């Protein structure tokens, strides 16, 4: 009988490698959580878009005596990543980098004093209070400390919502757990960078022109540093924020639908998922490639052309994509990547050092895109005759953000304010009452006065009042008001302007001027009228003072 042949086939199921699976389901139950094999959370859409995203590594927090808390934070991060529509990856990352990482440093100290390992049960209101005391003892800015605390608070709330902080009952954490307003008046303490002074702006513009000029003559791809210079050139001329600039794509620049002399720049603003449109003037000297005049539209087109192959290698449509020639922040040597905020800050410091940029006191200049934006908006404010409406519209603000955080009173306005104070003192101490457009026989009991003991401040009513008197000395003020009305027609609104202000012009032209002509003072009228047009009285640089008195 023949011997049966041995079966040599291999069951492939026996060779399958069994992998450990980290459970990150959202439940409200308390469970024992084991340490993950690789406690790293990857945020694929953060950082250099040509790289592999940005990682948050929790490894260094293990073995410190609070592994249970670290585990729960890690799994919370994994759970939050399932829904980036509700919370952006940048926001989520901030919870752990700014919230937990600094809190973990304090947990190390607390574990040492407690003498035993910490668990989720140890996260109590008393621990939060002691952490706040610890923060206040740090030599950091007030708003920086507030940021650390706010991120921690948000992280703990999400940790409870995802079921990883299960010992906390269903209470209102804001009112029953966390202290109320531990950092009061933080908004008033915020001190952002100021706009560039004229001295600083001249230095930056000259330096950028010198730095950009060789770029137009290049044919090879631009480096990360050269792209930073281009980004700064775009920023100083458009006033766009850092994030929209970094996320600009190659289709951001399009033809203007109405004007051949302009280009249309479309950028995406992350906050509120809103799109912003910016007009870019296209100069007649676009054919000149020496870079004498910084032209945003042409510069963007040059970037698109120079780095097209690098962009194609990683299939990206981002504008500021480059190939790293040396290993540095955000990219390894030889890899294609895009500008990120850390590299941007590093390159700006390099730019400052290379061109020795200094402020009026000889100190190294502080420079960032935020200062460029504030400078741009303040420039719009001054060019518009100090119109808040136009400045806010250009800044894409709907509230008072422009006034609160961006605008700084021009030197001319400060001088006008001081002069206005002197004028008002003289008027109040003068025996003959006067108003900002003329004189009044009796501002308390005159024809249109309130007659209740208070002074009349209805300047528009003066032109219908029998007590109103205009002397030759008042012509300068009167015509300053006259020209302010003309300049403010569009800002005031055509209908309101016609209803409230147009009649003033008619009275001045048809009633006041003829009366002075009868007295043989027409030449004086013309002189004061021209003086008021070219150099208006401080009170009537615009119609803001008229609004204040209403």
The confidence score (pLDDT) of residue 19 equals: 40
What pLDDT digit, counting tens, does each position of 1-11 carry?
A: 456 665 556 56
Do 365 and 437 belong to one domain?
no
Q: Which of 22-31, 35-44, 80-89 has the lowest mean pLDDT?
A: 22-31
pLDDT tens digits, one per residue of 290-347:
222 347 788 888 888 888 888 888 788 888 888 877 655 555 566 778 888 888 899 9
pTM of the model: 0.55
pLDDT at 229: 92
CB 395 within 8 A of CB 401: yes
Q: Are residues 232 and 363 in the same domain?
A: yes
Q: Are residues 69 and 125 in the same domain?
A: yes
**Does 228 reside within a domain?**
yes
Mean pLDDT of all residues in 544-550: 52
Shared domain check, 537 and 448: yes
Average pLDDT score over the chain: 74
Question: How far lies 61's CA from each of 136, 171, 407, in Å?
Answer: 23, 29, 44
Specify the pLDDT at position 288. Answer: 23
Task: Please check the confidence at residue 429 and state whether its pLDDT lies above 50.
Answer: no
Q: Please check the confidence at residue 75 and state whether its pLDDT lies above 80.
A: yes
Among 152, 185, 218, the domain-final residue is 185
**Helix residue spans in 395-493 (DSSP H):** 401, 411-429, 475-487, 489-492
315, 244: one domain: yes
Radius of gyration from C-alpha coordinates of the chain: 33
If we measure between CA atoms, which residue out of 433, 535, 421 comes closest to residue 477? 535
In a domain, 14, yes or no: no
In a domain, 520, yes or no: yes
> 257-266, 397-406, 412-421, 501-510 — which one is most confidently predicted on average?
501-510
Among the candidates 165, 185, 205, a domain finishes at 185
Same domain, 156 and 201: no
Domain shared by 50 and 140, yes or no: yes
State yes or no: pLDDT of 162 exceeds 70.
yes
CATH number (domain holding residue 368): 1.10.443
Q: What is the pLDDT of residues 182-197, one digit of tens each?
A: 888 776 666 566 788 8
Residue 243 or residue 71, greater confidence: 71
The pLDDT score that the predictor gives to residue 29 is 42
Give yes or no: residues 363 and 433 share one domain: no
Who's near 216: CB < 8 A, 6+ residues apart?
289, 290, 291, 302
pLDDT score recorded for residue 293: 37
Nearby residues of 70 by Cβ (< 8 Å), 6 or more positions away: 39, 58, 61, 62, 64, 104
Lowest-confidence pick of 70-79, 365-374, 456-465: 456-465
Percentage of residues in the chain having pLDDT higher than 90:
14
pLDDT at 255: 73
Task: Mean pLDDT check: name the lowest of 94-108, 188-202, 378-392.
Answer: 378-392
3-state helix, strand, coil in the chain (%, to 5): 50, 10, 40
Q: Are residues 218 and 361 in the same domain?
A: yes
Q: Tell which wins on pLDDT, 450 or 477.
A: 477
Indicate the pLDDT class of residue 175, thresholds 50, 70 and 90: confident
- CA-nearest of 218, 102, 106, 217 to 152 is 102
Percentage with pLDDT > 70 across the chain: 68
CB 183 within 8 A of CB 189: no
Q: How confident is the model at residue 257 (pLDDT cuts 50, 70, 90)?
A: low
Question: In terms of domains, do 229 and 372 share one?
Answer: yes
Q: How confident is the model at residue 514 (pLDDT cuts 50, 70, 90)?
A: confident
Domain residues for 227?
196-269+285-382
The answer to whether residues 267 and 238 touch, using CB atoms and an 8 Å cutoff, is: no
Mean pLDDT score, 265-274: 60
Is the same domain home to 181 and 202? no
Same-domain check for residues 433 and 540: yes
- 141: phi then psi, degrees, rounded to nearest 5: -65, 150
Q: pLDDT band at 432, cuts 50/70/90?
A: very low
Question: What is the number of structural domains in the chain?
Answer: 3
In which band, very low, low, confident or very high, does the pLDDT at 36 lie, cut at 50, 70 and 90? Answer: confident
């Amino acid at each position: 009988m023949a011997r049966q042949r041995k079966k040599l086939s291999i069951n492939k199921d026996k060779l399958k490698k069994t992998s450990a699976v980290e459970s990150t389901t959202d439940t409200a139950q308390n469970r024992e959580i084991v340490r993950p094999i690789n406690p790293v959370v990857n945020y694929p859409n953060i950082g250099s878009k040509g790289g592999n995203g940005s990682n948050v590594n929790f490894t260094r927090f293990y073995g410190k005596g609070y592994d249970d808390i670290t585990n729960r934070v890690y799994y919370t991060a994994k759970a939050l990543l399932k829904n980036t529509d509700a919370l952006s990856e940048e926001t989520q990352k901030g919870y752990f980098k700014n919230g937990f990482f600094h809190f973990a440093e304090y947990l190390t100290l607390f574990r040492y004093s407690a003498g035993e390992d910490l668990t989720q049960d140890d996260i109590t209101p008393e621990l939060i209070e002691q952490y706040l005391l610890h923060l206040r003892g740090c030599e950091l800015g007030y708003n920086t400390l507030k940021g650390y605390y706010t991120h921690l608070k948000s992280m703990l709330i999400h940790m409870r919502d995802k079921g990883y902080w299960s010992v906390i009952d269903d209470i209102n954490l804001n009112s029953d757990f966390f202290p109320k307003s531990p950092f009061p008046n933080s908004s008033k303490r915020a001190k952002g960078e100021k706009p560039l002074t004229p001295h600083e702006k001249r230095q930056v513009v000259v330096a950028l022109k010198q730095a950009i000029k060789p770029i137009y003559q290049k044919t090879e791809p631009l480096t990360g540093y050269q792209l930073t210079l281009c980004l700064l050139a775009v920023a100083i001329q458009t006033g766009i924020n850092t994030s929209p600039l970094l996320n600009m794509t190659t289709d951001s620049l399009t033809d203007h639908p109405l004007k051949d002399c302009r280009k249309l720049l479309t950028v995406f603003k992350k906050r509120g998922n809103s799109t912003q449109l910016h007009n870019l003037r296209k100069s007649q000297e676009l054919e000149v490639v020496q870079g004498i005049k910084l032209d945003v539209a042409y510069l963007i087109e040059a970037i698109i052309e120079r780095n097209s192959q690098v962009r194609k290698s990683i299939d990206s449509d981002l504008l500021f994509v480059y190939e790293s020639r040396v290993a540095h922040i955000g990219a390894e040597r030889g890899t294609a990547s895009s500008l990120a905020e850390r590299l941007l800050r590093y390159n700006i410091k390099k730019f400052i050092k290379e061109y020795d940029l200094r402020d009026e006191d000889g100190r190294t200049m502080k420079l960032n895109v935020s200062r460029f934006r504030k400078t741009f908006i303040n420039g719009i404010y001054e060019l518009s005759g100090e119109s808040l409406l136009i400045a806010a519209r250009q800044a894409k603000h709907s509230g008072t953000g422009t006034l609160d955080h961006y605008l700084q009173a021009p030197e001319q306005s400060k001088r006008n304010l001081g002069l206005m104070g002197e004028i008002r003192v003289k008027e109040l101490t003068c025996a003959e009452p006067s108003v900002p457009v003329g004189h009044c026989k009796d501002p308390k009991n005159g024809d249109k006065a309130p007659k209740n003991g208070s002074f009349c401040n209805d300047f528009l009513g003066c032109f219908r009042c029998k007590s109103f008197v205009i002397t030759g000395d008042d012509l300068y003020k009167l015509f300053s008001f006259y020209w302010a009305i003309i300049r403010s027609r569009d800002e005031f609104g055509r209908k309101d302007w016609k209803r409230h202000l147009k009649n003033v012009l008619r009275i001045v032209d048809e009633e006041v001027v003829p009366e002075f002509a009868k007295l043989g003072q027409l030449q004086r009228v013309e002189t004061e009228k021209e003086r008021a047009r070219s150099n208006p009285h401080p009170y009537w640089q615009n119609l803001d003072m008229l609004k204040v008195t209403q």
